[in-house]
Amino acid sequence: MVRRQFERVRKLAFQPISRLKTIPWRGVLTVGVPIVIGLGLAVWIAAKYVTPTPPSKIVMATGPAATTYAGFGDEYRKVLARSGIRLETRETAGARENYRLLKDPAGGVDIGFVRGGIGTVEEAPHLVSLGVVGYEALWVFCKGKNTLDDLPGLKGKTVAIGAKGAGMRRMVRELLAANGIGDDDFTPLEVGGVEAAEALLGGAADCAFLLEAPEAGILKALIYADGAQLVDFSRRADAYTKHLPFLGKVVLPEGGNDLAGNRPPHPVTLLTAQTQLLVRDDLHPAIQMLLINAARDVHRDSGLFNGDGEFPTLHRLDFPIAADAPRLYASGRPFLHRYLPFWVANLIDRALVFLIPAVAILFPLVRLLPPLYAWRMRRRIYRWYGELMFIENEMRRTLTSGETRDFGERLDWIETEVNEITTPLSYANQLYSLRQHIDFVQHQLEYGDTPPTGTPAAASGPPAFLQETSLAPPL
């Protein structure tokens, strides 16, 4: 009893395999090849257009400790943490080092604050910009009591151009070169910040270039100093911005540094360098989107030189704009990211990129396969009607005994081949109808035109399913 049950289970388990063996290889190719091609196209589309999972950790180069940009890095870290992204901030010597780390494929940095004029597209073609996030005003103080309104008077002077490795040095040299002051026409003093201010006030430098926030205490000290004057670029500021596109201009209002002391005592036009958020062009698009959204949160507040919501902006960039940045600036977060957690929305985005073209390819195939399968099944049956009609047409003339024997053997062979055909139950009636027609032709060959009782007559023609289908080839 148990043995019989075991044998029954084994037969049922292997029945699908045995049935697969009965399917002709041509049928497998006819139905299977379109499916394989469709799946292959879907996989190719997925490999080409579906981006990998975004990284869970990224590295940002900020600047020296306790500076404005180090503080910005901390704010970015908090914003990205809400989306499950861990941001590691790296303290650097400044924008120049940030650019160097980004430019170097082995630098280990994904994002960085880089000041305009430090690098070029030719030097780093793999870097793209997510936008300008702020202005850095260039403060030029020269010793003396006479107001200086431009830079040509610096020939032969000692100039504090910034410490070694500072990004400001390149900008200062370009500014002086634009005024016809080459490296041999002045004495560079490689100090910056507090050291530059001390050199100016102590007489070691004739002029000092500084990039500082308007609230910096060092600026207040220099503005109140009797022996230092702030250079006003109002006369040729527009010319500077035309010749050096990485520069902009802002107006420091009267009393902008110290309202109570009314310093400066009159409006002063300053040149500015724009700070951009640069990333490698292979940084995941979803991470770029998060960074742009974070920049809106971090840099949207107004300042002395910018209005509320002015930053970030895509205006006057040194590097190409990231591919998705214009769309994100125009429309904000994508629809799914407004209502779903970041990782869920990103998973759905990636799935849709694959599913939409896959459905577009597979849906027509799914509609085509049933009639194609039906045609394959029917063709296995009605292809024998061509043989039967040929023999029946030949029987209309007087046959020799040899021809009768040959046709009989041929009909026997056809009958043997048809008996080997296996079809689904839905096509069994057509198979049995074919067998009846074979018997009919055999009877005609043996007994003449009188059909046996219950057998369809020759005049009835092909079975109805041959007349209905549009897939049947001419017989």
Rounded CA separation 286/149 (Å): 47
Kindly report which listed range (25-29, 223-227, 308-312, 431-435) carries the lowest average pLDDT score: 25-29
Share of the chain above pLDDT 70, in %: 81
Query: How do residues 249-295 score in pLDDT, each as one tens digit?
Result: 999 999 888 888 888 888 999 999 889 999 999 999 899 999 999 99
pLDDT at 475: 38
List 113's β-bridge partners, or say none.
Answer: 277
Q: What three-state secondary structure class fits 339?
A: helix
Pairing type for strands 268-280 and 127-143 reads: antiparallel
At 308, is the pLDDT very low, low, confident or very high (cuts 50, 70, 90)?
confident
pLDDT at 47: 57
Look at residue 465 and tell me whether its pLDDT is greater than 60.
Answer: no
Distances (CA, A) of 264 to 10, 217, 226: 97, 14, 13
pLDDT at 78: 95
Look at residue 197 and tell me whether its pLDDT is greater than 50.
Answer: yes
The ranges assigned to domains in the chain are 57-333, 383-475
pLDDT at 474: 41
At 200, is the pLDDT very low, low, confident or very high (cuts 50, 70, 90)?
very high
At 451, is the pLDDT very low, low, confident or very high (cuts 50, 70, 90)?
low
CB 35 within 8 A of CB 365: yes
Residue 475 CA neighbour count, 13 Å, CB half: 19
DSSP 375-422: HHHHHHHHTHHHHHHHHHHHTTSPPPHHHHHHHHHHHHHHHHHHHT--
Which CATH architecture group holds 57-333?
3-Layer(aba) Sandwich (3.40)
